[in-house]
């Protein structure tokens, strides 16, 4: 790969984007926290202690303890695992479902496109979270089912995006040149269309991870995601609401974690959009 | 001798629908065109924008499917092929597009772009393909080490050379150039035209040059076909068509080339809609010589060698001679000679 391949130029533009870099650093910190949770957690996230119930943050318990005497810092660190895993796996699933279907719709056209587009429209007509809740309730309460529910609910966005972009890319001269050269349709789709529509898909994926993390927290809050006693930011918020007046730290720390991670992902997504789209304004 | 490419009464209409999706006529982009190209021959298809010449080029390669008519490539019925057989045959007929900034995939390095036809149509090894890519780059006047660069690093003329190398890679016998130099700077036009001429001679290619620039056409074409509203109205050896155009439309086109003076009156009115072309001769609404017969029946191409689709072709006054010394063709010839001196 030479110095000026499109991917390298985009990376260089991203590295110059300050807000995106801030977002990236925060996301990397969260990922590191999730990966290193078993080693950096000061305590076992499941270990209860009747001697330390609802303790306020202190030198011993940085984030305080919860109603069962569990260390909130440890639970927030372990909770990052559930949130990030849910976000990345659910969006990965949504890409795997949505992009091939969108490509087929955009490139095949005809009744297949009409059918796929109407189904995607129907799914998009239902609010994302409502659809995820309905699917998760149908599949049964478990983190894996919540991820599957989020993946399915997030996929129509990728179907629509991939279809529209593929439709556009397919009318370009380079796509016509590819056909004139004797490329079979699948090869034109994978070698010429997909790499050219990848940047907007990547941007959307980053923003969708943020949405999926909120969805996972919401499902866990409702008891449809991560099952207690396993830690999850959403379920921590749920149990915190009973003590919001005399133990606000139970809500503040998982809430801040969700807020910070989602904000960082959105900043990173916006920066990626600027870096990947040659039409966007240069700073 | 079998023609390289032969079109027989080829037709392509694009349906036009109203807001409710009901059919409401059709754009007759290509309306019964027959033509042929021999190996080593340059056929130019000229006409105003919208006359259907680009559609014709794409229909000939079946990038757009014709509604009816036959396409024969080296005597074989190209229009009957489908699927893998059609794709395999595509290596014999390639296309060069007008816009060198759009025709190269921005996410493919130059090497990957030129290598692609080799992957599709040859059994060459990776090393064999790399050697061929280097060879092709040299042929089109670029340095082999440019293979690892990306399209955005090149100028328009260089990109068009890359597109030519890509078109040559599969070893085609026919190349269609859809306005291949129109987007380029005049000095670069001459260089690219010379390159095309050299390659046509070297590989004995059949070449269809789709162009609206009569100067460029005069420079490169052996034969010329003039298109108006989806039909060919005049066709013959380039020298004869330029020296003694037989169709009033061809005369008007030649008279409109800058430097021809105002001896011929400019055409009146606009090109009629291709959705509802006029009855009879398509050109009679703008023809200064039109007679009653012209709106009654459609004239067919008539004559030997140099044919024209005009009832009055033999009774028209003598055409004003085409001033070669003032045309783009002469300018290009002079520029080309200069570049050859400088490079040789």
Residues in Cβ contact with B311 at an 8 Å cutoff, skipping those fewer than 6 apart: B281, B291, B293, B294, B299
Asked if A6 has any chain B CB less than 8 Å from its own CB, the reply is yes
Flag if A182 and B88 touch (Cβ within 8 Å).
yes
pLDDT digits (tens, 9 = 90+) for A131-164: 999 999 999 999 999 999 999 999 999 999 999 9
- Residues in B whose CB is inside 8 Å of some CB of A read 58, 61, 63, 84, 87-91, 94-95, 97, 99, 102-109, 116-117, 120-121, 148-150, 152-153, 163, 166, 170
pLDDT at residue A282 is higher than 70: no
d(CA B213, CA B48): 10
Instruction: Answer whether residue A183 is part of any domain.
Output: yes
Question: Is the separation of the CB atoms in B4 and B222 below 8 Å?
Answer: no
pLDDT digits (tens, 9 = 90+) for A164-195: 999 999 999 999 999 999 999 999 999 999 99
Name the residue range of residue A29's domain: 6-42+71-276
pLDDT attached to residue B265: 59
Nearest to B116 among A172, A181, A184 (CB): A181
* Tokens at A10, concatenated: 């985009």
Lowest mean pLDDT among A64-68, A128-132, B220-224: A64-68
Instruction: Answer whether residue A174 is part of any domain.
Output: yes
The per-residue pLDDT of chain A, averaged, comes to: 90
Report the candidate in B91, B102, B52, B70 with the shortest Cα–Cα distance to residue A196: B102
Instruction: Answer whether residue A57 is part of any domain.
Output: no
The mean pLDDT of B127-150, rounded to a whole number, is 94
Nearest to B97 among A2, A177, A181 (CB): A177
ipTM of the complex: 0.85
Flag if B87 and A184 touch (Cβ within 8 Å).
yes
If pLDDT is split at 50, 70 and 90, which confidence band does B342 have?
low
> Which residues make beta-bridge pairs with B43?
B208, B223
Residue of B nearest to A172 (CA): B102
pLDDT attached to residue B261: 61
The number of domains in chain A is 1
pLDDT digits (tens, 9 = 90+) for B279-309: 889 998 888 888 888 888 889 998 888 999 9
Instruction: Answer whether residue A221 is part of any domain.
Output: yes
Set of chain B residues whose Cβ sits within 8 Å of the Cβ of A191: 116
Q: What SS3 class is residue B28?
A: strand
The mean pLDDT of A38-65, rounded to a whole number, is 83
Flag if B95 and A195 touch (Cβ within 8 Å).
no
How many CB atoms are closer than 10 A to CB A204? Answer: 23
| Angle between helix B186-203 and B156-169 (nearest 10) | 10
Instruction: Answer whether residue A49 is part of any domain.
Output: no
Report the candidate in B11, B12, B15 with the shortest Cα–Cα distance to residue B275: B15
* Tokens at A268, concatenated: 């990173």
Asked if A195 has any chain B CB less than 8 Å from its own CB, the reply is yes
Asked if A176 has any chain B CB less than 8 Å from its own CB, the reply is yes
Distance of CA B322 to the CA centre of its chain: 22
pLDDT at residue A280 is higher than 90: no
Instruction: Answer whether residue A65 is part of any domain.
Output: no
Residue of A nearest to B61 (CA): A180
Flag if B117 and A182 touch (Cβ within 8 Å).
yes
Asked if A278 has any chain B CB less than 8 Å from its own CB, the reply is no
Give the pTM.
0.85
Instruction: Answer whether residue A61 is part of any domain.
Output: no
Report the candidate in B201, B175, B180 with the shortest Cα–Cα distance to residue B191: B180
Instruction: Answer whether residue A51 is part of any domain.
Output: no
Question: Is the separation of the CB atoms in B268 and B260 below 8 Å?
Answer: no
Best A12, A176, A198 residue to mutate vs chain B (most B CBs within 10 Å)? A176
Flag if A182 and B149 touch (Cβ within 8 Å).
no
Task: Give the rounded percent of residues in chain B with a pLDDT score beyond 90.
Answer: 59
Report the candidate in A262, A176, A184 with the shortest Cα–Cα distance to residue A218: A262
Asked if A178 has any chain B CB less than 8 Å from its own CB, the reply is yes
Phi, psi of A2 (to 5 degrees): -80, 170
pLDDT at residue B329 is higher than 60: no
DSSP string, B103-122: SS-TTS-HHHHHHHHHHHH-
d(CA A175, CA A167): 11
CATH number at residue A138: 1.10.3720.10
Nearest to A4 among B89, B108, B153 (CB): B153
pLDDT digits (tens, 9 = 90+) for B307-322: 999 998 888 887 776 7
Residue of A nearest to B102 (CA): A173
Best B91, B136, B145, B150 residue to mutate vs chain A (most A CBs within 10 Å)? B150
């Amino acid at each position: 790969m030479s110095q000026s391949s499109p991917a390298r130029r985009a990376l260089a533009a991203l590295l110059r984007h300050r807000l995106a870099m801030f977002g990236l650093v925060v996301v990397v910190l969260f990922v590191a926290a999730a990966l290193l949770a078993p080693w950096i957690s000061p305590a076992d996230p499941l270990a209860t202690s009747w001697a330390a119930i609802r303790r306020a943050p202190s030198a011993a318990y940085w984030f305080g303890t919860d109603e069962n005497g569990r260390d909130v810092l440890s639970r927030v660190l372990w909770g990052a695992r559930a949130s990030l895993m849910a976000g990345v796996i659910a969006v990965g699933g949504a890409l795997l479902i949505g992009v091939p279907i969108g490509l087929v719709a955009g490139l095949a056209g005809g009744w297949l496109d009409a059918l796929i587009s109407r189904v995607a429209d129907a799914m998009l007509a239902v609010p994302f979270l409502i659809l995820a809740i309905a699917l998760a309730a149908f599949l049964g309460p478990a983190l894996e089912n919540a991820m599957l529910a989020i993946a399915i609910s997030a996929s129509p966005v990728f179907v629509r995006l991939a279809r529209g972009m593929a439709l556009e890319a397919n009318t370009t001269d380079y796509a016509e040149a590819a056909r004139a050269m004797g490329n079979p349709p699948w090869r034109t789709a994978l070698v010429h269309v997909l790499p050219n529509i990848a940047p907007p898909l990547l941007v959307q994926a980053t923003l969708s991870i943020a949405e999926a993390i909120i969805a996972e927290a919401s499902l866990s809050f409702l008891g449809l995601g991560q099952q207690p006693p396993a830690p999850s930011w959403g379920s921590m918020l749920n149990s915190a609401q009973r003590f919001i007046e005399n133990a606000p730290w139970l809500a503040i720390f998982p809430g801040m974690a969700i807020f910070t991670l989602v904000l960082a992902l959105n900043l990173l997504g916006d920066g990626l959009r600027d870096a990947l789209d040659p039409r966007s304004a240069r700073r | 001798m079998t023609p390289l490419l032969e079109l027989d009464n080829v037709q392509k209409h694009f349906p036009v629908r109203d807001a409710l999706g009901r059919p409401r006529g059709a754009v007759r982009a290509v309306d019964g065109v027959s033509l042929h190209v021999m190996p080593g021959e340059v056929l130019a298809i000229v006409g105003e924008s919208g006359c259907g010449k680009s559609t014709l080029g794409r229909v000939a390669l079946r990038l757009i499917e014709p509604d009816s008519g036959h396409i024969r490539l080296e005597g074989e019925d190209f229009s009957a092929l489908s699927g893998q057989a059609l794709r395999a045959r595509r290596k014999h007929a390639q296309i060069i597009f007008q816009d060198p900034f759009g025709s190269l995939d921005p996410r493919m390095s130059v090497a990957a772009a030129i290598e692609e036809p080799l992957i599709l149509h040859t059994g060459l090894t990776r090393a064999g393909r790399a050697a061929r890519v280097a060879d092709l780059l040299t042929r089109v006047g670029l340095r082999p080490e440019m293979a690892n660069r990306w399209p955005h690093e090149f100028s328009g003329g260089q990109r068009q050379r890359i597109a030519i190398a890509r078109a040559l890679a599969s070893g085609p016998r026919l190349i269609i150039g859809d306005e291949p130099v129109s987007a380029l700077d005049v000095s670069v036009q001459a260089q690219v035209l010379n390159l095309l001429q050299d390659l046509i001679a070297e590989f004995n290619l059949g070449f269809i040059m789709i162009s609206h620039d009569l100067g460029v056409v005069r420079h490169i074409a052996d034969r010329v076909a003039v298109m108006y509203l989806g039909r060919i109205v005049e066709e013959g050896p380039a020298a004869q068509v330029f020296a003694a155009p037989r169709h009033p439309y061809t005369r008007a086109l030649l008279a409109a080339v800058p430097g021809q003076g105002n001896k011929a009156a400019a055409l009146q009115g606009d090109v009629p809609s291709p959705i509802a072309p006029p009855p009879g001769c398509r050109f009679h609404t703008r023809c200064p010589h039109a007679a009653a017969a012209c709106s009654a029946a459609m004239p067919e191409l008539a004559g030997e060698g140099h044919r024209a689709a005009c009832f009055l072709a033999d009774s028209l006054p003598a055409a004003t001679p085409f001033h070669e010394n003032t045309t783009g063709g002469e300018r290009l010839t002079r520029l080309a000679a200069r570049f050859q001196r400088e490079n040789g």
